[in-house]
Amino acid sequence: MNAEILCVGTELLLGDIVNTNAAYLSRELAALGIGCYYQSVVGDNAQRLRESVSLAFSRADMVITTGGLGPTYDDITKEVVAEYFGLEMELHQPSLDHIHDIFTKIGRPCTKNNEKQAYLPKGATVLDNERGTAPGIAIEAGGKVAVMLPGPPSEMKAMFEGKVKPFLQAKTDRVLRSHTIHLFGVGESSVESQLHDAMVERTNPTIAPYAKMGEVQLRVTASAKDEAEAETLIQPVIDEITALFPDNVYGVDVENLQTALARRLFEKEMTIAIAESCTGGMIAARLTEIPGISKSLAGGVVSYSDESKMKLLGVSEDTLSAHGAVSPETALEMAKGVKEKLGVQVGLSVTGIAGPDGGTPEKPVGLCYIACVGSWGEEVSEMRLSRGMRDEREFIRNYTCLNAMNMALKLI
């Protein structure tokens, strides 16, 4: 089976948003062993969408669309695809109830145009939307399959994972199983060059690398007659890669560094508090993405000014005037301060210069210090994160955040 991805939305054609949906779907299709030779983007225009749908079905067995399922007059994907299959639209009462439920819950009136989302092609498979109002739709007829997904990435991904994957897996007698190995502190090209032969030659399991938010992920995918066989094929590859990158692999199927760190804290039943300067709360914000983190995270301090470092963390005025706010000494006092103030076992801190202003020849933009104090004693690490490019404030903040979480993960 091969598939084609058709993303619908004028906002994509205007460049208002980046098409992360196409990348996500391509990756997922590749992992399922479904070939994909084309991605297309078309606007909210009936004639052009009609032509794009016909073209896609002339080239592929399956067309996956994103976008155009919403309530507004320019949301026309399902109408156009239904027309291609010669299907009429009809009211799907459970979807309408779901839409009304959502509006009742958020206490806003459900305007009439929202009901449009509950009109679906007759006989289609409805893919419930757990995160929004517009249901997804699957149609199978004449050897062709259409899968229509909502445009907002969070809705789209949840629907693909929960509804489309099982639907596609049911079409094959093989089982596909993937595990993702997470690496931090090594570049994608370096991983790729060390694994090049293994990646090119291996067909089962396959190894697919990709870089994401400052880390590298390697997805190992096996095709087998059942799950047990797939796992038996995958495990040696995971062991081999872990042995190749012992300092970089921080977990398997752990999603991201904050999840890995939270799990480690839960396992060890340890408590932590965070003091942040240049990251301005990003570490705490990411850790608090994890449900239940309140049993490990007491809290944190965003000490953006010198005064806040002194008042909230007890950093001494002498340290600040002798070494400056961006120094190993200040980082250490911040970590110790937040640990003591909140009576926790681990104190983690960062201080640095995110730019674009505030750099000096001795302390340039991108200079950051991370400190982590706990039963192992006191650790401080210096990083120089600037690549000398413009607009790298968010890059520096993100890498500081990742490095800090990685440091804590290694020490705890």
Task: Confirm or reject binding of residue 96 to a copy of itself (CB under 8 A).
Answer: no
∠ at Cα 281 (277, 282), nearest 5°? 110
- Cβ 45 to a copy of itself shortest distance, Å: 7
Rounded CA separation 10/230 (Å)? 42
Task: Confirm or reject binding of residue 339 to a copy of itself (CB under 8 A).
Answer: no
Rounded CA separation 84/363 (Å)? 63
- Cβ 260 to a copy of itself shortest distance, Å: 17
**Region 205-234 residues binding a copy of itself, contact defined as CB under 8 A:** 208-212, 217, 219
Contact between 183 and 248 (Cβ < 8 Å): yes
Judged by CB under 8 A, the stretch of 99-107, 225-233, 260-268, 315-323 that binds a copy of itself is 99-107
Using CB under 8 A, pick the residue from 102, 175, 233, 270 that binds a copy of itself: 102
Using CB under 8 A, pick the residue from 269, 318, 357, 362 that binds a copy of itself: 357
Structure-token pair, residue 21: 């949906």
- Cβ 8 to a copy of itself shortest distance, Å: 11
Helix 188-201 to helix 227-244 angle (10° resolution) is: 140
- Write the DSSP symbol of residue 132: S
Rounded CA separation 397/372 (Å)? 18
Burial of residue 343, with CB atoms counted within 10 A of its CB: 0-12 exposed, 13-18 middle, 19 or more buried: exposed
**Complete edge-to-edge strand list for the sheet that includes strand 62-66:** 2-8, 62-66, 144-149, 136-141, 125-127
Judged by beta carbon, residue 15 or residue 361, the one nearer a copy of itself is: 15
- Write the DSSP symbol of residue 134: P
**Region 135-174 residues binding a copy of itself, contact defined as CB under 8 A:** 152, 154, 158
Using alpha carbons, select from 109, 123, 25, 22 the residue that is nearest to residue 71. 109
Task: Confirm or reject binding of residue 382 to a copy of itself (CB under 8 A).
Answer: no
**Region 240-299 residues binding a copy of itself, contact defined as CB under 8 A:** 273-274, 276, 278-285, 287-289, 291-294, 297-299
**Region 75-94 residues binding a copy of itself, contact defined as CB under 8 A:** none
Contact between 271 and 345 (Cβ < 8 Å): yes
Peptide bond before 152: cis, by omega within 30 degrees of 0?
no
Using CB under 8 A, pick the residue from 54, 72, 172, 360 that binds a copy of itself: 72
Judged by beta carbon, residue 204 or residue 228, the one nearer a copy of itself is: 204
Contact between 212 and 254 (Cβ < 8 Å): no
Using CB under 8 A, pick the residue from 350, 355, 373, 404 that binds a copy of itself: 355
- Cβ 403 to a copy of itself shortest distance, Å: 12
The site for a copy of itself, by CB under 8 A, has a size of 118
Judged by beta carbon, residue 139 or residue 260, the one nearer a copy of itself is: 260
Judged by beta carbon, residue 18 or residue 377, the one nearer a copy of itself is: 18
Task: Confirm or reject binding of residue 111 to a copy of itself (CB under 8 A).
Answer: yes
Using CB under 8 A, pick the residue from 53, 63, 70, 249 that binds a copy of itself: 70
Sign of the Cα torsion 191, 193, 196, 197 reads negative
Site track 301-330 with a copy of itself (rule: CB under 8 A), x = hit: xxxxx-xx--xx------------------
Peptide bond before 364: cis, by omega within 30 degrees of 0?
no
Using CB under 8 A, pick the residue from 106, 246, 267, 361 that binds a copy of itself: 106
- 338 φ, ψ to 5°? -70, -35
Judged by CB under 8 A, the stretch of 35-43, 226-234, 315-323, 369-377 that binds a copy of itself is 35-43
The amino acid at residue 55 is L
Using alpha carbons, select from 402, 323, 344 the residue that is nearest to residue 370. 402
Task: Confirm or reject binding of residue 363 to a copy of itself (CB under 8 A).
Answer: no
Rounded CA separation 395/372 (Å)? 22
- Cβ 394 to a copy of itself shortest distance, Å: 6
Using CB under 8 A, pick the residue from 343, 361, 362, 375 that binds a copy of itself: 343
- 37 φ, ψ to 5°? -105, -15
Judged by CB under 8 A, the stretch of 83-91, 262-270, 352-360, 373-381 that binds a copy of itself is 352-360
